[in-house]
Structure formats: C-alpha cells, structure tokens
Amino acid sequence: MSAVVIDGKAMALSLRAELARKAAAFTARAGRPPSLAAVLVGDDPASAIYVRNKGVAARAAGFDSVEHHLPASTGQKNLMALVARLNADPRVDGILVQLPLPDGLDSGAVLIAVDPAKDVDGFHPLNVGRLALGEPACVPCTPQGCLIMLRHQLGDLTGREAVVIGRSGIVGRPMAALLVRENCTVTIAHSRTRGLAEVCRRGDILIAAAGRPELVRGDWIKPGATVIDVGINRLPAGIGKSRLVGDVCFAEAVQVAGAITPVPGGVGPMTIACLLANTLACACRRTGIDEERLLAGRPRP
C-alpha cells in the first residue's frame, strides 16, 4: 500500500487565494487592508527569514504588513513599549512577536502583553485558556493548519483515536485541544512516555511534533492511519549541504499510512496561510465586519 501524500503547498496556495479575495472585500468595506505587525528582536537568521516570509505572504494577499526590527541589545522596557504602541494602534489588527527572543528578554511577559484580540499566534494565556475550554479563540497557526489538512483528508473527525507526539505550547498542546474539540479521543505523548511505538499504533490520526529526525518508524503506524508530520529537522547531506526531514521516516511510513504529509511541502506552508487567516479574523472581529459574509454575492474566480 502507498499512502496518499497530502499536498500542503497546494492547499496553502488555495487558502491564500481565498484569503486574498477576502482581504480585498475587507479593504473595500473597511477602507483599509487587514494589517499585521511583526516584531523581530536580534539577528537570528532563521527568525529573520520567517518574519520576511510572513511579510511577503501577507503583502501578496493584499494585507498591510509592517516589520519592526529591534537590535539584540533592546531592553525589556523598550520591547514592552513597542507592544503597547501596537496594541493601541487602531490600524493594527494582528501582532506577532517572533520567538525565540534573545537571552535576557522575558518572552512570557511579552506574550501576555499582546492584546488578546490581536494575538494572531494564539500564544496569549487568555486564548490558550479559551481553546482549552473549547471556546472561540485565536488558535496557534501550525496546529490550525494541521487540522485543516485532517478535515480535508478525513471529513468529520468524530470518534477517531488521535495520538499527538509533543506537548509544547506552540504545537502539541493546542493540537490536542483542537482534536478534543473535534470529538477525537486524544493521547498526548512526550519524552517521558513509555512504549511510544505501541502508543502511536493506536492512532487513526498520528501527529508527530517532537523535533526528532525520523523518530516515527513505519511499524509505529496503524495501517491506514493519517500521519501529519510537523517536524522540521535539518540533517547534513554532504559537504556544505543539508536536507530537511520530518519527525517521521517518510520512506517507511508511506508504505503503511493511509495518508501522510511530506517534509518539506506539508505542514510548513499551511502555517503561514493560517497566520493570514488569523489576521483577517482579528481584523473582522475588531471592525465588526462579518467574515462569513465577506465573499457573499461575489463570483468565484
């Protein structure tokens, strides 16, 4: 058996196209585009690339996107002052603070300072709590992208057995909360889990978010299961070269799973698309515009 390979790139492109149509309709109604403010502190090259890619994607979809780049020497007070300014700016709908922050800065204090109504990353404790309670919330982008792919592949998820490897606040925990909201029976596994392979074999749905290259082997997977590989691991591949692998051994898993996301080209592209979706949702809530009706009466392209 060879699994269906879920094309996250194509799904993200189609979601971004829909968001661009919605952003145009929002701009016509509100008199301004939905707007995202990104805060980058320091010179971490990976963070700079992430922030740049998010800005490019936002502008390509007709959003306004402003990047605030502060030096690594920025103090907590100045960073908090910038967040307070963005909170108070009526033209800013979404704020993201790129993590990790340089040593010496308290990321918890910064994240709690972001207005929960502009919290497009879904990291504010109020949004974390709302998600845990099953209430409407800003949901972290990566698990939201995973859920869209699962729904697309499986339809209604009710009653399915789901196993999530990883319990971080960015991926594992919110992913598990979303799956509970979808009426799945959820197991969260982590580095202290005993008999991980056995636990994984229970999953009709298996989400791998451990940050361990090719941790999940083919014989850990229930035949026919849907496997979402969140991991992004860079391995050396010859002199001066590297390759990306996920947390799942793709070559083995594709023989057993019913469907699987590749790395790259699976979860990654959906994460940025979901950031735009969150920004538009915040913009609509803040302006009282009904997102559901944004495209009403408009012909589909």
Q: Check binding of 142 to ligand NDP (CB under 6 A).
A: yes
Q: Check binding of 116 to ligand NDP (CB under 6 A).
A: no
Contact pick of 165, 175, 178, 276 for ligand NDP (by CB under 6 A): 165
- Number of chain residues interacting with ligand NDP (CB under 6 A): 26
Q: Which residue is nearest to ligand NDP (CB)?
A: 168
Q: Which residues are catalytic?
A: 54, 98, 121
Contact pick of 171, 205, 245, 248 for ligand NDP (by CB under 6 A): 171
Q: Check binding of 211 to ligand NDP (CB under 6 A).
A: yes
Considering only the stretches 59-67, 83-91, 111-119, 164-172, report the one whose residues sit in contact with ligand NDP under the rule CB under 6 A.
Answer: 164-172
Contact pick of 215, 216, 227, 282 for ligand NDP (by CB under 6 A): 215
Q: Check binding of 146 to ligand NDP (CB under 6 A).
A: no
Contact pick of 16, 118, 167, 222 for ligand NDP (by CB under 6 A): 167
Contact pick of 95, 97, 196, 207 for ligand NDP (by CB under 6 A): 196
**Range 224-243, binding ligand NDP (CB under 6 A):** 230-233
Q: Check binding of 267 to ligand NDP (CB under 6 A).
A: yes
Write the single-letter amino acid at 117.
A
- Residues interacting with ligand NDP, by CB under 6 A? 142, 165-168, 170-172, 189-193, 196, 209-212, 215, 230-233, 267-268, 271
